[in-house]
């Protein structure tokens, strides 16, 4: 009796079409950013500000429902990160802040897929998002800037500082 694998090997187009279907169904998050990247080095210490545009259609909870601190990962952004942050050294602390005048969220993933930081309102009167964290390891971080409501579109600036 032939196994499914043997049947698929006899008809390679069946195997390829099945593989294409599996790949298209898998939830994947792209690694390329929509906007400017950021590179920081601790020597000398540098801060950076970049700009971008929110296109809120993909639920950030699909990447992570919460971060290691228990903060909810909320909001809507594009499937691709807005920015790629490269830290050339370890940083004892970083603050990442959105300035848009709108109700924003942040999701930062890196330097590995299991490390996530999420942030929302800076204060009750400032609905822009902020993440304040310690012990940032050198590496690559993907940053999504999101809107609280799906379908919103607006411009923002993002500041990363020690």
According to DSSP, the residues that pair with 145 across neighbouring strands are 106
Is residue 62, in this structure, part of any structural domain at all?
yes
The CATH number covering residue 63 comes to 2.60.120.380
Residue 140 counted as domain residue: yes
In this prediction, residue 160 carries a pLDDT of 96
* Mean pLDDT of the chain, nearest integer: 82
| Number of independent structural domains in the chain | 1
User: For the segment 68-94, what is each residue's pLDDT rounded down to a tens digit?
Assistant: 899 999 999 999 999 999 999 999 999
Q: Rounded mean pLDDT of 42-46? A: 71
Query: Does residue 7 fall inside a structural domain?
Result: no
Residue 5 resides in a domain: no
Residue 74 inside a domain? The answer is yes
Q: Domain range for residue 155?
A: 34-161
Beta strands 76-77; 116-119: pairing state: unpaired
Does a structural domain hold residue 27? Answer: no
């Amino acid at each position: 009796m032939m196994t499914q694998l043997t049947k698929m090997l006899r008809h390679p187009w069946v195997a390829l079409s099945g593989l294409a279907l599996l790949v298209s169904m898998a939830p994947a998050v792209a690694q390329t950013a929509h906007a400017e990247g950021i590179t920081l080095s601790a020597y000398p210490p540098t801060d950076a500000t970049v700009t971008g545009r929110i296109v809120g259609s993909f639920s950030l909870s699909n990447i992570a429902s919460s971060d290691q601190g228990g903060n909810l990962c909320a909001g809507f952004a594009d499937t691709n990160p807005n920015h790629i942050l490269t830290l050339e050294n370890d940083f004892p602390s970083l603050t990442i802040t959105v300035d848009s005048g709108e109700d924003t969220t942040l999701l930062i993933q890196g330097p590995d897929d299991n490390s996530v930081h999420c942030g929302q309102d800076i204060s009750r009167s400032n609905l822009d998002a902020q993440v304040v964290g310690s012990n940032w390891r050198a590496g690559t971080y993907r940053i999504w800037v999101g809107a609280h409501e799906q379908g919103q579109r607006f411009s923002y600036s993002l500041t990363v500082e020690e």
